[in-house]
Amino acid sequence: MAETKLIQWSDDYSVGVSILDEQHKSIIRMVNKIHAYITSGASSEEISEILNQMTQYAMNHFRTEEDYMKLFEYPEFELHRKEHMEYWKKTALFANEAMSGNKEVLGDILSFLIDWWMDHILRTDLRYKEFFQEKGLG
């Protein structure tokens, strides 16, 4: 794998709420860091450590989104929350596998993280953009 930045945040990813955009930018930075760790041959401990950090950060981010959704009674809340839960389950499994020293799973983890976040932000998160903007969030 080449030492390139895999994801570059751009305005296309903006969900119109600055705190959520900032969190998404941090998440993208973490995905890129995981990529760098994997390509530089970091140890299983180091990789599972950063994966755990990222999971914690993501859970905190999901809570921020979900709190706004509950506050404004976002109609697609349940559906959206389900995706967050799926992510959590999947990354918990991956962190275990990485911890067990299974190097083969690392490429899968990276692809999953990139695909999931790109799809989730662009397809699922952007669905609340207009709704939150109408509620005056910015």
Residues with Cβ < 8 Å from 91, sequence gap 6 or more? 51, 54, 55, 58, 113
Name the residue nearer to Fe ion (CB basis): 56 or 96: 56
In whole angstroms, how close is the CB of 24 to Fe ion at the nearest point? 9
Contact residues: Fe ion, CB under 5 A = 65, 125
Q: Closer to Fe ion at the Cβ: 36 or 77? A: 77
Identify which of residues 97 and 125 has a Cβ nearer to Fe ion in the complex.
125
C-beta of 15 vs 110, nearer to Fe ion: 15
- Shortest approach of Fe ion to residue 25 CB, angstroms? 14
Residue 115's alpha-carbon distances to 68, 118, 123, in angstroms, are 25, 5, 11
**Which residue from 42, 39, 13, 36 is spatially nearest to 25, judged by alpha carbons?**
13
CA distances from 89 to 14, 26, 92 (A): 26, 21, 5
Report the residue number, 37 or 128, with the smaller CB distance to Fe ion. 128
CB 103, min distance to Fe ion, A: 30
CA distances from 5 to 14, 67, 123 (A): 19, 31, 22
User: How far apart are CB 37 and Fe ion at their closest, in Å?
Assistant: 24
Question: DSSP letter at 89?
Answer: H
CB of 59 to Fe ion, least distance (A): 11
